[in-house]
Amino acid sequence: MERRLLPCLLVLFFLSAAAVGSPAAPLYGWIMSFARRRREVSYAIDCGGTEDFDGPFNRRWTADSFYSGGGIPGTERTLRAFPPSSAGKKGCYGVPVPPGRYYIRIFTAYDNYDSKLRPPSFDVSVEGTLVFSWRSPWPGKIARDGAYSDLFAAVTDGQADVCFYSIATDAPVIGSLEIFQIDWLAYGAADHILVNYGRLTAGGRLFGPGFTNDTDQFGRVWQSDQGFLMDSAKSKVLTASRPILGANQRPNFFPTHLYQTAITTASGVSALEYLFQVDTRLDYMLWFHFAEIDPAVTAPGKRVFDIYVNKDKVTRMDIFKQVGGFAALKWQYVARNLTSTPLSVKLVPISGAPLISGLENYAMVPLDLATVPSQVAAMNALKQSLRVPDRMGWNGDPCAPSAWDAWEGVTCQRSDDKRALVITQLDLGSQGLKGYISDQISQLSNLVYLDLSGNLLSGGIPDTLGSSSLVLALLNGNRLEGQVPEKLYSIGVHGGAIDLSGNKGLCGVPSLPACPFFWSKGGLSTGGKIAVGVAAAVVLAALLLAVYLFCVRKGRHEYDFAPSQDLMCKHPDSL
C-alpha cells in the first residue's frame, strides 16, 4: 500500500457513518487573551459546488469557485477534479487565513463521476509538504462512498495552500475542504505537520462537528475505537455518572464529551491493546486520554497499569493518584523512527483493570523546504504579467514539495544555506504568452537561465533584469520595445549569451538601432523626461513674466483699489 494512503484508510469516516496551559506563562496568557478578542477563522468549502448552503448540524458550506486554482466541477456529484490537460499537473486551493495553526480536513471521493471505472492516482500536499498519496485501485467502499483524512499544520504567509499533483494523466479529485483555526500552541511540534492515523473515543460513538451535535472547539472528529481495539469481546464500556473536571482547556481544548466514556477489561488480569497501521521511518505522536469514572475507585493504588508502545514499557499510570476521580488526564508520548507496522499500544494491569477514554496517533511529517518568499511573490507577479495559462499549473509553491516537479517551465534547487529552495531556470519559450515582463523578476536573484523567446510579449525590458547569476537570456521573437538595459546587455559582454532578435522596437545597444533621444522602454527616456521638465519650467517662467509685466508693472503707481473707470458699468443715461 502506498505511503501516506494509510491515514485516509484509518480516518475514513464513510458517508454511510452517521497538557493544561502553564499558569507561569504570562506571555502565552496575553496571546490567548488577544486571540479571544477576535473571531477565529473557519471554512467549510463545498468542492465543485456552485452555491452556498446550510448543511446538517448547523454547518454553513461555501462554494469553492473563489478558492480553487484550476480544475473543473465533477459532473455527477459535488466534487472538483483537476485534469492535467486543462489544469496542469498541479491544482491547488489557496484559502486566505491569518498566520496561525490550523486543523484541516479533506474529504476525497470518486464514485465513478467520469464513467471510467478507475479511481485516479495523485498526491496531496499542505503548505508545500507531501501528506497523502492515493494510488489506483482504491478499496471499493472508499471509491464509492469516499473517505476523510485530516491533519494539523501551521500557516505563516496568510494563505493556506492545499495542492493536488497528478500522477501520469490522472485527474485528482476532492469532495470538500474544511479549515479550522486552532490554538497556536496546540499539540506542539510546530516544525512538523501532524497527520491523523487514528483519533479514537474509547467506548463511545463517532462524534464531532458536521457529524453530531457534540462540540469540539477545534472541529476535530473522534471515531469509535472499534476496529483498532483487539479482543474487544473481553472489554466493557463505562459511562460517567458525574461531570468531568479539567477538560476543554487550552491549548488543546480536548472536549468534555471524550472523557464521559471509557473502555476497561471485564477482568483485572486482561490487557487492553490497540493496533494502528502506520508508515515506517516516521515518528508518531501519541496522546492518551484518561478519566477515572468508576465511582468504586476512590483512592490511589486501586487502578494501576503499565503502558507499552511496541513492547517497550514507557510509563506506569495511576489516574486517581494524579488527578483524582472524574477529572481529565492527558499524557503524550512520541514513538521514534518506527521500523515496522502495526504500531502497538498496550495497557497491562498491575492493580485493578486498565482503563482509557481516548487515544490519538499522529504521524510527525517534517516540513519540506519551501521556496524563498520573495521569489514566490516574484513568480506570482510573473504569472499575472505574463498571463500564464491554467494548463501550465502555476499554483501553490513554485518549487515545493521537492518530491514533485516544479511549476511547468521552472527549475529549482536548494539555496546555498540548504534552508530553502530557489529558482534557477525559467524555460517558457513558445508558450503563447501575451503579457509583459514584471519588474519583480529582479527578485529571482538565483536565476541562471531565462527563455521567454517565441511569445507575444510587449512593453519594455525591466531595468533590473540581469542578476549576477544570469548567463543566458533568450528574449527573441517577441514584441518588446525601448532601450535594452545595460545590466542585461552586459551578460553577453561578460561571457554569457543573450538573444534579442525579432523585437523591432528594441534599441540602444550594438547590433540594434540607436534609441531616439526621448525614447526608452516604450516610453520617455531619462533624458526625455529631463527635456520635458526643462521645457515645462521655461513655459512656466514665461507665463509668470507676462503676468508680472501686465499686472505688477502696469499698476506700479496706482494705489486706488476701486475698479478702474474702464471696467465700471456705465448707465445708459450718462452716455
pLDDT tens-place string over residues 118-128:
999 999 999 99
- 3-state SS, 296-350, equals CCCCCCCCEEEEEECCEEEEEECHHHHHCCCEEEEEEEEECCCCCCCEEEEEEEE
Residue 174 clears pLDDT 90, i.e. is over it: yes
d(C-alpha 269, C-alpha 252), whole Å: 33
d(C-alpha 199, C-alpha 192), whole Å: 18
Query: From residue 21, how far is each of 29, 90, 366, 527 by CA, in Å?
Result: 9, 40, 25, 66
Residue 532 clears pLDDT 70, i.e. is over it: no
- Name which of 108, 101, 100 is nearest 164 in CA terms: 108
Residue percentage of the chain with pLDDT more than 70: 81
Residues 6+ apart with CB under 8 A from 390: 70, 86, 87, 88
Query: Amino acid identity, residue 143?
Result: A
Residues 6+ apart with CB under 8 A from 64: 45, 46, 47, 48, 49, 80, 93, 177
pLDDT tens, residue by residue, 337-373:
898 899 999 999 999 999 999 999 999 999 999 999 9
d(C-alpha 414, C-alpha 244), whole Å: 51
What is the pLDDT at residue 71?
59
What is the pLDDT at residue 70?
58
* Range among 12-16, 36-40, 103-107 with highest mean pLDDT value: 103-107
Residue 564 clears pLDDT 60, i.e. is over it: no
Residue 388 clears pLDDT 60, i.e. is over it: yes
Confidence of residue 81 (pLDDT cuts 50, 70, 90): very high
What is the pLDDT at residue 538?
56
Mean pLDDT (whole number) for 382-395: 95
Confidence of residue 269 (pLDDT cuts 50, 70, 90): confident
Higher pLDDT, 18 or 344: 344
Q: Return the minimum-mean-pLDDT range out of 14-23, 116-125, 536-545.
A: 14-23
Mean pLDDT (whole number) for 255-270: 93
What is the pLDDT at residue 67?
72
Higher pLDDT, 235 or 544: 235
DSSP letters, 342-391, are: SEEEEEEEEES--EESEEEEEEEEEPPP-B-HHHHHHHHHHHHHTT--GG
Domains in the chain (CATH in brackets) are: 38-182 (2.60.120), 187-367 (2.60.120.430), 373-520 (3.80.10.10)
Residue percentage of the chain with pLDDT more than 90: 69
Confidence of residue 547 (pLDDT cuts 50, 70, 90): low
Q: Which residue has the cell 472499534?
A: 226
What is the pLDDT at residue 267?
82
Query: Across 228-280, where does the E strand assignment appear?
Result: 235-239, 261-265, 272-276
Residue 566 clears pLDDT 60, i.e. is over it: no
